[in-house]
Amino acid sequence: MAKVSDINVNGADAAVDAEGERTLLSVLRDDLHLTGTKYGCGEGRCGACTILLDGSPTRSCQVAVGSVGRRKVVTIEGLEQEGQLHPLQQAFLDHDAFQCAYCTSGMIMSGVALLRKRKNPSEAEIVRFMDGNICRCGTYQRIIAAIKQAASKPEASR
Amino acid sequence: MNAAEEPVIEAERYELFERPHYRFQVDRREFFKQLGCGLVVLCVTAPALAQESGGPRRRGGRGPQLPSQIDAWLHIGEDGAITVFTGKAEVGQNIRTSLTQAIAEELRAPIASIKMVMADTQLVPFDMGTFGSQTTPQMASRLHRIGAAAREALLDLAADHFKADRATLIIADGKVSKTGGAESVTFGELTKGQKLVKSAEHEGSVTPAADWKIAGTSVPKVDARDFVTGRHKYSSDMAMPGMLHGCVLRPTAFRASLDSVDTKAAEAMPGVKIVRDGDFIGVTAPDALTAEHAVESINARWNAPSQVSSSDLFDHLRKSAGAANGRGGGEDTGSIEEGMKAASRQLQATYNIAYIAHTPLEPRAAVASWENGRLTVWTGSQRPFGVRSELADAFGIPQENIHVIVPDTGAGYGGKHTGEAAVEAARLAKAAGQPVKLVWTRQEEFTWAYFRPAGVIDIHAGVRDDGAITAWECHNYNSGGSGLRSPYDIPHQRSQAHGSDSPLRQGSYRALAATANHFARESHMDDLAAAVKMDPLEFRLKNLKDPRLRAVLQAATDTFGWKTAKPRETHGIGLAAGTEKGSYLATCVEVLADKESGSVKVIRAVSAFDCGAVVNPNHLKNQVEGALVMGLGGALFEAIEFENGMVTNPHLSEYRVPRFSDLPRIEVVLMDRKDVASAGAGETPIVCVAPAIGNAIFNAAGVRLRSMPMVPDGLKI
C-alpha cells in the first residue's frame, strides 16, 4: 500500500508520513499524538478505538490509514468546541458514567454517532447500537442514562 | 526473563503482609527542598510486627528497634496549595476522589484546592499496593488523621496570627477567621516562611462520620473532564522523544524453553533491532507495525512439556490437591460426625469453577527509559513498588535507581499486581539505548497475564426437618480460602482450603475465591432450603444471627419484593448473601431461563450493601453496579479454555464479556452505617451475583447448575 502524507482529522488536514497498511488507530495515536482513541483488542470487538469516519462510527484498529483518503476523521479530541463540551461529554460527567474510563472515548464517539442518527433513541435502540462497545467496569446503566440525557438537548446531534 | 520461570503467584498473595523492603528516610530538609516552605504532616504508623507484638503504644514514639513507617504525607505550601502523597494507585475505583474527600473533610477546604500525588515511587512513601479493599479502611483513615493534624497546626498558626484564643477561630472554605470578625487568613498566609513538620500518629481530632460534610457525599470524579475529552494519559499514551516501539516473541506454550531461533529476516528490516537474553527474544522498531512484522518473521523452535488441558482440569485439581493449607476456613467447630448424626437429611455436591481472565480494557503497557544507569518506567499497575522490586531483581540494580510512575490506569480488578510489560520494555530499552514503548496485545493479555484461579469445591451438609443446619463440611481445592467460612450459625463446621497444582499462572482477582466459595455455599443453601421445603429467605434467616447480614438480606428482599414476586413463566428469582472483607452483601435477581430456547438473561438485580460509613454514595453505587455486571460474566459465560499449555480462546471474539445487551435493571441499596468504620467496597459486591443467578435458574427451570460459568452455551437440559 502506498504511503500516506495527509489525513483530515478534527476539521483540519494533518501531515503524516505513514505506510498505508498501518492502522488509522496507530497513526492517530503514535504519529499525531491523538491518544484519546484507545487500543483495546485490535479486532474491532471492544469499541475503545471508535472514531467517526465521515460521520459513521468506525473501529480505527480495523482501518488501514491508506484507505482513509479524503474522508473526514473525528476523534474524541475533536468533540469539544470552543471550550464547550459536547452534550454527551457533559452527560457522562453528570452521570459519572465511567470508572477507569479507558472505554469512555469510544463510548462517547459511538454515542455521538447514535445521537446524530436518532434524535430520541429508545433504550432498546441504545443497547443495540452500543453493544459493540465494552465497559469492563460495568457502567452500562450509567452510559445509557447519559445518552438519554444528551438526547434531550437540541445540540446533541452536532 | 522467561515468563515461565517467574515464581508462581499465590492466589491469595494479596492477603499476605510482606514487610516493606524500603523505608523513606525522614529528613526535614529534604521535604522543604523538594516542596518549598510550608507545613508538612506525616502519617507515621508502627510496622505490622510492632502492632502484633502487643503492649501499650507509647505516645510520641516507640522503641528504637522498631523504626516507624511513613504511609502518607501532606504539604501545604506558601501559596496555599495542598498536596497529598500516597502510594495507592487509581485503577477506576475512584480513590483519587475518595482520598481527596478525606483531606477536604478534615481541612475544611474545597476539593479543587487539593492535589493527590499517587503511585510514583520517587515522590510517595512506600506502599505495598492497591488491593484487598484496603485503601478505604487504611489509607483513607490515615489521611483523615493527617488532615486533622494539619487543621490543628493551622489553627495554632492562626491563633498566633490573630493573637487570639484558638477556641474563637473558625476554619472553613480553606481559610481561618475569627468568630464574628470579617478578617480571614488563607492557609498560604499561615504557612508562609514556615518549615513545620507534624506527625499524625493518633486519631486526634478526626471528624466522626456522623459529622462529615464532604466525605460521605457524592463528589464527582475529581479529574473526570480529562477522561471525557481524551486528555488523560494512561501509560500506553505516554511518548518520549526518540521513543521506539517494542514487541516480544512469545513461546508456543507455557513452560517452554527455546530450542533454536533464526532472526535473519527480522535483522534485515530497516530500523529493527533484535534483543536476545536467554529465552527472551524481543525487537524494537520505529513503529509498532514494523516491530510486529519483525517478530512474525522470527523462526523459533520451542520445547515444551506436555500439559493439562481444560477438559481434564477439575480432575487434575482434585488429584494434585495437598493437605489443608489453613487459609480462610477458620477453626473447626464441634464434630462433623455428630452434626451429620443430628441431621434429618444430608446433601453432598461438588462445584467447579473455571479460570477466568480479568480483561482490563487497557492491556499491560509500559514506556521505559534509561539514563546513566537509572531507569524510569511508566506502567499501569496496582503495585508500583512491587514493579520496582521486579525491575531491581531483573536488572540487578538498586531500587533507588528505579523510578516507577503509575498514571491512573485502565483498570486492574486484581489483575495488575505484576510488572511484566515494565520489565520487558526496560530490557528492550536497555538494548536499544533509547526509550521503548511496549503495549501488550489483547491476545498477550489473555495468554501471558495471570488468571483467577480455577477450583473444585466439595460441600457436605446436614439439616434437620425444622430447617436448622446441623453440620457443614466444605473443601476448596485450588481456588482459595476467601469467603470460605460460612457466616451461618452451624454448630458443627469444617471449612478447608487446599492448594493444587495449577496448570495456568493464577493470581489475585476482585474478591479472590470469595466468589467461588459464595457460589458453592449459597447454591448449597438453596438446595437445603428446597430439601426441607422452606423459602430460601426464611431458611437463611433461621440459620443466621449476624445482625448486619440479616439487615442486608432484609433490605435487598424488601426492595426486590421477594415475598410478593410472582415471576412470569420461564422466569425465576434467586437470592444470595454473604460477608467478606468487613462488608455485607445480599443480592436478589430475576432471571429469564427458557428451557425451550436455552436462553438465559438476568432481567433485574437488587443488591443491598453495608460497608460501614459510606464515603461517596454515587461512586459506591457505581462500584456495586459494576461488580454485578462483571460478576454475571463469570457466572454465566466467561471461561479460559486451554490445551496442552496454550490458551485457545485468547480474543474478545472467543472470550465473551458482559455487554450492554447483558445488562439487567440494577437497583442498589446502601445501608450507610455512620456508626461503623468504612470498609473497602470495590470487591465484595461481586460475590453474590453468581449464586443468586444460579438459584434463580433453579427457581425458573428446576435445574441446579454447579459449574461456573453456568451456561457458556446456553441452558442445556
Quick check: A76 and B230 CB within 8 A?
A: yes
Of the pLDDT bands very low, low, confident and very high (cuts 50, 70, 90), residue B534 is very high
pLDDT for B68 = 60
Residue B717 has pLDDT above 80, yes or no: no
pTM: 0.94
- Residues B457 and B529 grouped into a single domain: yes
What is the C-alpha separation between B705 and B713, in angstroms, rounded? 13
**Overall average pLDDT of the B78-102 stretch:** 96
For the stretch B677-708, pLDDT in tens is 999 999 999 999 999 999 999 999 999 999 99
Domain boundary among A50, A78, A106: A78
pLDDT for B329 = 82
- Residues B632 and B483 grouped into a single domain: yes
Q: Looking at the domain assignment, is residue B28 inside a domain?
A: yes
Whether residue B237 lies within 8 A of chain A, CB to CB, comes out as yes
- Residues B216 and B269 grouped into a single domain: no
Whether residue A16 lies within 8 A of chain B, CB to CB, comes out as no
Indicate the number of domains in chain B: 3
What is the C-alpha separation between B437 and B250, in angstroms, rounded? 17
Instruction: Report the residue from B94, B410, B443 with minimal CB separation from A102.
Output: B410
Quick check: A102 and B234 CB within 8 A?
A: yes
Indicate which CATH number applies to the domain containing B382: 3.30.365.10
Of the pLDDT bands very low, low, confident and very high (cuts 50, 70, 90), residue B234 is very high
- Residues B74 and B200 grouped into a single domain: yes
Among B5-19, B214-228, B252-266, B516-530, the range scoring the smallest mean pLDDT is B5-19
Q: Which domain holds residue A15?
A: 3-78
CA distance B522 to chain A (A): 24
With the CA atoms of A24, A25, A30 and A31 taken in that order, what torsion angle do they form, in degrees rounded to the nearest 10? 30
**Overall average pLDDT of the B379-387 stretch:** 97
- Residues B157 and B185 grouped into a single domain: yes
- Chain A positions in Cβ-Cβ contact with residue B629 (cut-off 8 Å): 138-140
- Chain B positions in Cβ-Cβ contact with residue A75 (cut-off 8 Å): 230
- Residues A67 and A32 grouped into a single domain: yes
Whether residue A138 lies within 8 A of chain B, CB to CB, comes out as yes
Domain boundary among A78, A96, A112: A78
pLDDT for B35 = 83
Q: Which among B221, B228, B232, B666 is the top mutation candidate for probing chain A, defined by the most A β-carbons within 10 Å of its own β-carbon?
A: B228
Whether residue B503 lies within 8 A of chain A, CB to CB, comes out as no
For the stretch B20-65, pLDDT in tens is 443 444 566 677 888 889 999 998 876 543 333 333 333 333 333 4
Closest-approach residue (CA) in chain B for A92 = B228
Whether residue B123 lies within 8 A of chain A, CB to CB, comes out as no
What is the C-alpha separation between B404 and B123, in angstroms, rounded? 10
Quick check: B658 and A19 CB within 8 A?
A: no
What is the C-alpha separation between B105 and B99, in angstroms, rounded? 10
Number of residues assigned to chain B: 717
Whether residue B638 lies within 8 A of chain A, CB to CB, comes out as no
Q: Which carries the bigger pLDDT value, residue A58 or residue B11? A: A58
pLDDT for B474 = 98
**Overall average pLDDT of the B160-188 stretch:** 93
Closest-approach residue (CA) in chain B for A142 = B622
Whether residue A134 lies within 8 A of chain B, CB to CB, comes out as yes
- Three cell numbers written together for B224: 473526570
Helices A87-95 and A104-117 cross at an angle (nearest 10°) of 130
- Residues B127 and B178 grouped into a single domain: yes
Domain boundary among B159, B191, B223: B223
Mean pLDDT of chain B: 92
Instruction: Report the residue from A30, A99, A144 with minimal CB separation from B92.
Output: A99
- Residues A58 and A108 grouped into a single domain: no
Among B174-188, B360-374, B381-395, B644-658, the range scoring the smallest mean pLDDT is B174-188
Indicate which CATH number applies to the domain containing A70: 3.10.20.30
What is the C-alpha separation between A105 and B225, in angstroms, rounded? 12
pLDDT for B248 = 98
- Residues A7 and A74 grouped into a single domain: yes
Whether residue A17 lies within 8 A of chain B, CB to CB, comes out as no
- Residues A53 and A99 grouped into a single domain: no
In whole angstroms, how large is the CA radius of gyration of chain B?
27
Whether residue B270 lies within 8 A of chain A, CB to CB, comes out as no
Domain boundary among A45, A78, A111: A78
State the pairing for strand pair B402-405/B374-379.
parallel
Of the pLDDT bands very low, low, confident and very high (cuts 50, 70, 90), residue B356 is very high
Indicate which CATH number applies to the domain containing A98: 1.10.150.120
Q: Looking at the domain assignment, is residue B543 inside a domain?
A: yes
Domain boundary among B200, B223, B246: B223
CA distance B83 to chain A (A): 23
Quick check: B623 and A89 CB within 8 A?
A: no
Quick check: B232 and A34 CB within 8 A?
A: no
Whether residue B410 lies within 8 A of chain A, CB to CB, comes out as yes
Instruction: Report the residue from B93, B228, B287 with minimal CB separation from A92.
Output: B228
Question: Which residues 39-68 in chain A show a CB within 8 A of chain B?
Answer: 39-43, 45-46, 48
Q: Which domain holds residue B594?
A: 320-356+451-708
Quick check: B239 and A33 CB within 8 A?
A: yes
- Prior bond of B64 cis (ω within 30°): no
Quick check: A30 and B652 CB within 8 A?
A: no
In whole angstroms, how large is the CA radius of gyration of chain A?
15
Quick check: A105 and B233 CB within 8 A?
A: no
Indicate the number of domains in chain A: 2
- Chain B positions in Cβ-Cβ contact with residue A32 (cut-off 8 Å): none
Alpha-carbon distances, residue A5 vs A15, A18, A27, B223, B582 (angstroms): 6, 7, 11, 36, 59
- Chain B positions in Cβ-Cβ contact with residue A140 (cut-off 8 Å): 629, 658-660, 663
Q: Looking at the domain assignment, is residue B713 inside a domain?
A: no
B266 burial (CB, 10 Å; 0-12 / 13-18 / 19+) is: buried
Domain boundary among B182, B199, B223: B223
Whether residue B650 lies within 8 A of chain A, CB to CB, comes out as no
Query: What is the residue whose three cell numbers read 501488550?
Result: B440
Q: Which among B81, B86, B85, B139 has a CA at the least distance from the CA of B114? A: B81
Residue B662 has pLDDT above 50, yes or no: yes
- Residues A92 and A67 grouped into a single domain: no
- Residues A103 and A146 grouped into a single domain: yes
Q: pLDDT means per 10 residues in chain A (158 residues)?
A: 94 97 97 98 98 98 98 98 96 98 98 96 98 98 98 88
- Residues B500 and B368 grouped into a single domain: no
- Residues A72 and A92 grouped into a single domain: no
- Residues A93 and A141 grouped into a single domain: yes
